[in-house]
Structure 1
Amino acid sequence: MAINPLFPYPLYLVISEQDCYPQSWLHVAEEAIHGGVDIVQLREKNETPARFLEKAKKLKRITDRYGIPLIINDAVGIALEIEAWGVHVGQNDCQPLEIREKYGQQIQIGWSLENLAQLDSEQMRAVDQLGVSPIFATKTKTDTITEWGISGLCQVRNLTEKPLIAIGRMDLDTIESTWQAGANSIAVVSAICKSNDPRERSAQLKELLT
């Protein structure tokens, strides 16, 4: 796969404090960036809005230092308050058209793809990139419908030109085949967040994408 100029971020870190425990999640984020992570998403499902905002500000200071785009999961208001690069929303969150109509081009919009019918939705007009989730079932994301697999990802690739972000058990054993199947970006959680050396693991993963 060539790097997609619309989404030139092949290695995508999805991070939360819980996923990194007992390591410092901010340390993991910075080490992963040193190792080659191109873009970071903060996903905190169980935090209060005030605590989520506090965490987002702390992470933004790190991503800004290295010129790395930051995406906020679900919380559109927080994403706009901290001037994040993007927001990623699912089926049960604020929908892409609503975000676009309210905020115009202020923010990039990612949308979780759970079934092929979504590709015909009017929401696609407002979507900048699609999260294909999960490629393989994973314990870190349990609220999904379709396990796409490599064949499903290939099918999606043939049906849309939108940048595709593959997530779901992405590790050293799976990312190369996923990349070759048409993903424009590989979103990693546990393989980096649970690693004893997130910098080295990020470098190993990045090498498989370049």
Structure 2
Amino acid sequence: MEYTEKLKEYLKKEGADLVGVTDVHSLSELKTIPDNLLSPFTHAVSIAMRIPRAVFDFIIDQPTPLYSSMYQNVNRLLDEVAYKGAKKLQSDGYLSLPIPASQIIDHEEWHGAISHKAVARIAGLGWQGKNLLLITPEYGSKVRLVTILTNAPLSVDSPIANRCGKCRKCTEACPAGAIKDRSTKDYYKSRDEALDFSKCVLKLTGEFQHLPNVSGLICGVCIKVCPWGSKLR
């Protein structure tokens, strides 16, 4: 079995639901912190872990304590999977770096070390939806993501086409009225093409973050209403 497939199989045994690979040249336009984050590496491994669908059944127009807890737990599990994957890559003789699943470094622009969503899209796990989130064919946006950077000689996966079409469910459901209902063939060049990002941030930081027993910058409404991932799998 080729090394890439062995690595994917290992990560899935450790809890990953989806795994994709891309090379760092395809990520050259992405903002990274620090700027030279990608320089020691040749490839990026994107890992997705699904969130149980029933968690979203209780979301109406705001995040719930149950979703908040699940969100944090899945991020923790993703970090563990990425850590184990990086250790395996290192033990196999390759440089590797797991990037935390949900870490904001730039609190003015709301950026982490690298966009897990962008890496996942380029690695073929899904497409960028009108809500700016990654949408996977299998689970919709009911997933969390993490990335491993490595110099292992891996085989890359290809991006998949956008499948949102004329669907407006996320636009209509957004409690902040932030989604502009604009499609993209591949990806948005800036957040403002798809969202009034300031409206989204204000809703999260000014209201949802202060709800009882809700931690983090979360919402979940557009994830719930997306028809992709609505079937049990």
If the length of structure 1 is used for normalisation, what is the TM-score? Answer: 0.24
Q: Normalized per residue, which structure has more helix?
A: 1
Q: TM-score, normalised by structure 2?
A: 0.22
Rg larger in structure:
2
